Amino acid sequence: MRKVIYLAMLAAPLGVFSAVFWCWSRSAESVSLDQEPGASTHYSTPSAGRPISPTATGPATPADLQGLTPDEQVNVLVYQFANRSVVNIKTKGVQTDRFHLFEVLSKGEGSGLVLDKQGHVLTNYHVIEAAQEVQVTLFDGNTFEARLVGGDPDTDVAVLKIDALPASLFPVKFGSSTRLLVGQRVFAIGNPFGLERTLTTGIISSLNRTLPARNSERRIKSVIQIDADINPGSSGGPLLDSRGRMIGMNTAIASKTGESAGVGFAVPVNTIARVVPQLIANGRVRRPNAGITKLFPVERGLLVALLERGGPAERAGLQGPRIEQRQKRQGPFLVNQRVLNLATADVILKVDGRPVKTPDEFYDVVEEKQPGDQVVLSILRDGQLRQVPLRLGLSGGEK
């Protein structure tokens, strides 16, 4: 029985788990740059040196750490350094009962991270997708109504905003995901099953995994695989290194039951650092758009299965499958049927001279460009090779 990717959040009503989960469970000083070798933009915490205590008694003293093993001391200090940055997120929405056709209230729960003193909060896109109400609870128990600043389903990243006092906000410290190693020790903090700010530990099991993005053919790249326990409700929490710096955001688990089976996944922090400033500034990520919604790998390239109506590809003259009327005899009667003729669809062989054999390869080439750039598609139509110039639009906006 093959493994299934499950939600690491409560996407179903609280206390009830679906049979199958997808772990999908500007201001004056919004961004503080803290460059590290190989790292992107970093949000920096105002007190990066001294561990932060989760209690009112202050950080752990050397006396507190006496008698603990070196490993235990690291665990304690990482938790104290980062736990105040982790928030609990509760969502409410309305779903339509498919059998009785009436609306029912749905509730969900996940985790998030404080990004800055202005109240920006990071979480997974799937945590807040379709939510009508979002509440964020800080480490001190105070709860705030949150509004969505921007979301990017292609990387499963979203940014919320709350109106909290700066003194109660402890921004997470960004690290880098450039030089990670398999076997490296990692720490995860989240809210599994509603149990706030729970710490789990493990190692990096593998690197450069890919996960399917939400509602598109794209895939999230360079995903970190870990063996630390990630359960429903932990989605959107931080993956930390041994210095308490965030190297990823926990987003999915591979499991047959919906609970952690030692195979978890995190979106790398370098991806997050590229996406977050755009979400705060624009509410979305500006990506080039070719206007091709579906591509199917075939023997010689990629068959154009679905075009965005009025989009760049359609305007460039690309063709998808054609719907045709055909007659079929059923007993003594002739019945008209609508069929999809795939033979009329173009097959893309190359983009700017680079062969593409999978949808990922196609989107990788396109996303190296900018909206407004022109690419040349080498296509096969009716057995003839053609060159089609295509000017890229803006994903989610201009055609």
Active site residues: 126, 156, 235
Q: Who's near 36: CB < 8 A, 6+ residues apart?
A: 42, 175, 176
Paired strand residues for 152: 157
Q: What's the CA angle centered on 128, arms 126 and 133, to 5 degrees?
A: 160
| Measured distance CA(106)–CA(10) in Å, rounded | 10
Length of the chain as a residue count: 399
Q: Who's near 206: CB < 8 A, 6+ residues apart?
A: 182, 225
| Measured distance CA(30)–CA(117) in Å, rounded | 8
CB 350 within 8 A of CB 390: no
| Measured distance CA(77)–CA(190) in Å, rounded | 16
Q: Parallel, antiparallel, or unpaired: how do β-strands 347-351 and 4-6 relate?
A: unpaired
Closest CA to 3 of 201, 152, 209: 209
